[in-house]
């Protein structure tokens, strides 16, 4: 199992209402339904991914994350998940704040664009990094936003968002220390009073 999915499943309490933004083929939601009896639904923009998600018995609605959240009433979900989708949205700040409005807690997974491997590539090759986790050429990438774990912490601080928990992940394993240097992915549990 993907370690980020494992960590998310561990975080979510039983019978919770969960919304996964950019749920893809619905793997995570299906896992949450199976393991945590979650009342799970998702938003996804890719038509083919929706067919796969629906085959897993997940409720998915076709739409983009940037505008999809305004449909929901406040604090309607126990958790809103933005796993590996935030870097693809046009207005990340708006989306995170909206997610915190409709969800009591928000789980965010971000790719760390400033881990050691990426830094070394920039330094030695003088090129924008391409790694296993970030395999795209600059001219052909779904990623609109490039951020690091440190950037995300600063964003939360500046917007009065409480980081309840932070986990760094590299090579499908949890990183205990120096996440901004060694983690490919940062996973956050957020709250806003």
Partner 1 sequence: MPDLGVVTTQFFTCHEPPHELKLKSGERLGPITIAYETYGQLNADKSNAILVFHSLTSDAHAAGYHEGDKKPGWWNTMIGPGKAFDTDKYFVICANVLGGCKGSTGPASTNPKTGRPYGLSFPVITVEDMVVVQKQLIDHLGISTLLNVAGGSMGGLMALEWSIKYPESLRSCIAIATNTRHTAQQIALHEVARRAIMSDPDWENGDYYGKSIPARGMAVARMIGHITYMSEKSMDEKFGRKLMKKEKLGYDFSTDFEVESYLNYRGESFVQRFDANSYLYLSKALDYFDITAEKTSLTEAFAPAKCPFLVISFSSDWLYPPYQSKQMVKALKANDLDVSAILIDSSYGHDAFLIEVENQSKVVSHFLQRFI
Binding site for partner 1 (CB under 8 A): 39, 41, 47, 50-51, 54-55, 57, 59-63, 71-73, 76
CB of 91 to partner 1, least distance (A): 19
CB of 58 to partner 1, least distance (A): 8
Strand partners, 184: none
CB of 149 to partner 1, least distance (A): 33
Q: Which of 96, 87, 110 is nearest to 184 (CA)?
A: 110
Torsion angle (degrees, nearest 10) of CA 5, 99, 114, 146: 120
Q: Which of 109, 40, 97, 105 is nearest to 70 (CA)?
A: 97
Nearer to partner 1, 60 or 190 (CB): 60
CB of 77 to partner 1, least distance (A): 10
Nearer to partner 1, 39 or 119 (CB): 39
Nearer to partner 1, 11 or 41 (CB): 41
Between the CA of residue 4 and those of 53, 91, 121, 162, what are the distances in Å?
19, 24, 25, 20
């Amino acid at each position: 199992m993907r370690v980020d999915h494992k960590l998310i499943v561990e975080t979510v309490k039983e019978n919770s209402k969960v919304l996964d933004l950019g749920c893809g083929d619905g793997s995570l939601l299906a896992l949450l339904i199976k393991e945590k009896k979650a009342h799970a639904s998702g938003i996804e923009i890719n038509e083919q991914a929706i067919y796969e998600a629906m085959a897993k018995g997940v409720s998915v609605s076709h739409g983009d994350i940037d505008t999809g959240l305004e449909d929901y009433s406040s604090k309607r979900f126990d958790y809103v998940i933005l796993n590996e989708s935030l870097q693809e949205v046009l207005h990340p700040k708006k989306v995170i704040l909206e997610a915190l409005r409709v969800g009591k807690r928000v789980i965010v997974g971000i790719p760390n664009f400033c881990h050691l491997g990426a830094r070394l590539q920039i330094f030695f090759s003088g090129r924008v990094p391409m790694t296993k986790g970030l395999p795209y050429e600059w001219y052909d990438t779904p990623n609109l936003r490039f951020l690091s774990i440190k950037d995300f912490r600063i964003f939360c601080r500046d917007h009065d968002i409480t980081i309840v928990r932070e986990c760094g992940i590299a090579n499908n394993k949890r990183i205990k220390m120096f996440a901004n240097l060694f983690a490919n992915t940062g996973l956050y549990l957020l709250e806003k009073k």
